[in-house]
Amino acid sequence: MTDQRSLADVLQQRPSFNPESLSVAEAAQIIDQLVTPVGAIESLALRDTLGRIAAVDVLSTLDVPAHDNSAMDGFSVRSADLRPGASTTLRVVGAALAGRPFLGSPQPGEAVRVMTGALMPFGHDTVIVQEVVQVQGEQITVPPGQLAGQNRRLRGEDLSRGSVAIPSGRQIGPAELGLLASLGIAELKIRRRLRVAFFSTGDELRSIGEPLAEGQIYDSNRYTLFGMLRRLGVEGLDLGVVPDDPAALERTVAAAAASADVVVSSAGVSVGEADFTRSVMGRLGEVGFWKIAMRPGRPLAFGKIGQALYFGLPGNPVAVMITFLFLVRPALIKLAGGTANGLTTIQVRAAQPIRKRPGRTEYQRGAWVPSPTGEMTVQVMANQGSGVLSSMAQADCIVVLAHERPSIDAGEFVDCVPMGSLF
């Protein structure tokens, strides 16, 4: 793994750094400065690269399509043969299908029956769709109003030889698989998969399958983390539940940091608990305890243990998801060698007023609601409690209310990140 910078180096360059009140933007910058993409590269068969990140620019070795071809079923013609403003009668001298070209050389006044994907016959530049053509035996009549070059796909219009088909850092999705296949590429160089170890802490937590005693709850954070990591295409290592016990925590963190690129834990970083967590982490590596001016998600431990990045997320289930999505996820994407985080932010009018305190970034669960005129607006959901996962499951988007922003009036634009762009 590439050597990463130390947290102390990065913080030294920030004289105004205040661990008790850090803006989301500042925290994200510090995290970003600590991340250097992993260097290791592997070659995989095309289908196995789905979800992985291209490690090199893939250049097109071909023109795609390789030849001019018909975009429609119809008749190919030479546009110079068509009479402007009047219909034209042409003689059909043959046919061309996808994969079965017409090998002759049509003469002036001659048309060829062509199917979609068929190579354009020699000298022909235009295709007339079959629906507008009158056919009488060997003859066709083409109505006026055709445009030269219509219904023809040009050689190289998708990709031209030597151009970048897939840039390094691009995550391979279904479209990329198809694009690579269209170039005849069977194998691709990709970055190695990240390993992310994760665990939950808390004496009250039980795992699925265990009975619940009074005051105990099922651990849900390991499931949301599993899902978010899986969707990112990283390898998750589930280390289970660790009790609120310094020795157990130290053992788990040490083992996790030795076997993973990134360690993510939840809970045990709130005020009462931070002291013992801090001392454990401090013994193992460099860890900062930050209070981030965000809601949900205020307490966060962040640091490096050996070469591994460490994220100690808060305990509340929604806070775990929000801090993961907006602080951990971008770091994982960069570490994995990715160049785009895929987040789409759209501006939508608020359906109702939204209460917001300036001086912190708020992430509220939102639902799309059409206004009486049919325009899409966003309504923040009623229960924004940081433990309420059901509204996270129902939400259409996360409404991101910027640090300085005060309360919002109905009708004002707010930034919305659709759920589909987060997972």
CB neighbour class for 77 (10 Å; exposed up to 12, middle 13-18, buried from 19): buried
Residue 224 makes contact with ligand AMP by CB under 6 A: no
- Shortest distance in whole angstroms from residue 273 CB to ligand AMP: 6
Q: Which two tokens stand for residue 292?
A: 């981030």
Residue 267 makes contact with ligand AMP by CB under 6 A: yes
Q: At how many degrees (to 10) do helices 246-259 and 271-284 cross? A: 50
CB of 88 or CB of 323, closer to ligand AMP: 323
Select the residue interacting with ligand AMP from 126, 252, 265, 266 (CB under 6 A): 266
Helix (H) or strand (E) holding 291: strand 286-291
Question: By three-state DSSP, how is residue 284 classified?
Answer: helix
Distance CA 149, CA 128 (A): 10
- Shortest distance in whole angstroms from residue 215 CB to ligand AMP: 9
DSSP 8-class letter at 47: G
| Region at 396 (left for phi over 0; alpha for psi -120 to 50; beta for the rest) | alpha
CB neighbour class for 108 (10 Å; exposed up to 12, middle 13-18, buried from 19): exposed
Residue 216 makes contact with ligand AMP by CB under 6 A: no
Select the residue interacting with ligand AMP from 74, 106, 268, 297 (CB under 6 A): 268
The per-residue b/e assignment along 26-54, b for 16 or more CB within 10 angstroms, e otherwise, is: bbbebbebbbebbeeeeeeebeebeebbb
Residue 317 makes contact with ligand AMP by CB under 6 A: yes
Transcribe 92-142 into DSSP letters.
Answer: EEEEEBTTB---S-PPTTEEEEE-TTPBPPTT--EEEEGGG-EEETTEEEE
> Which residues of this protein are in contact with Mg ion, per CB under 5 A?
202, 267
- Shortest distance in whole angstroms from residue 291 CB to ligand AMP: 13
CB half-sphere exposure, 109, CA atoms < 13 A: 4
Q: How many residues sit close enough to ligand AMP to count as binding (CB under 6 A)?
A: 17
Residue 238 makes contact with ligand AMP by CB under 6 A: no
- Shortest distance in whole angstroms from residue 266 CB to ligand AMP: 5
**Which of Mg ion, ligand AMP, none does 323 bind, CB closer than 5 to 8 A by kind?**
none
**Binding segment for ligand AMP among 95-103, 245-253, 267-275, 397-405 (CB under 6 A)?**
267-275
Residue 220 makes contact with ligand AMP by CB under 6 A: yes
- Shortest distance in whole angstroms from residue 267 CB to Mg ion: 4
**Which of ligand AMP, Mg ion, none does 317 bind, CB closer than 5 to 8 A by kind?**
ligand AMP
- Shortest distance in whole angstroms from residue 358 CB to ligand AMP: 26
- Shortest distance in whole angstroms from residue 238 CB to Mg ion: 19
- Shortest distance in whole angstroms from residue 202 CB to Mg ion: 4
CB of 169 or CB of 268, closer to ligand AMP: 268
Residue 315 makes contact with ligand AMP by CB under 6 A: yes
Distance CA 189, CA 16 (A): 42
- Shortest distance in whole angstroms from residue 198 CB to ligand AMP: 10
**Binding segment for ligand AMP among 88-96, 120-128, 145-153, 309-317 (CB under 6 A)?**
309-317
Distance CA 30, CA 304 (A): 12
**Which of Mg ion, ligand AMP, none does 233 bind, CB closer than 5 to 8 A by kind?**
none
Q: Which of residues 154-213 bind ligand AMP (CB under 6 A)?
A: 200, 202, 204-205
- Shortest distance in whole angstroms from residue 348 CB to Mg ion: 36
Distance CA 57, CA 166 (A): 6
CB neighbour class for 111 (10 Å; exposed up to 12, middle 13-18, buried from 19): buried
**Binding segment for ligand AMP among 15-23, 124-132, 149-157, 219-227 (CB under 6 A)?**
219-227
Q: Which two tokens stand for residue 131?
A: 């629906």
Distance CA 157, CA 67 (A): 10
| Tokens 């770091």 sit on residue | 331
Residue 265 makes contact with ligand AMP by CB under 6 A: no
Residue 219 makes contact with ligand AMP by CB under 6 A: yes
Residue 296 makes contact with ligand AMP by CB under 6 A: no
Which residues of this chain interact with ligand AMP, rule CB under 6 A?
Answer: 200, 202, 204-205, 217, 219-221, 266-268, 270, 273, 314-317
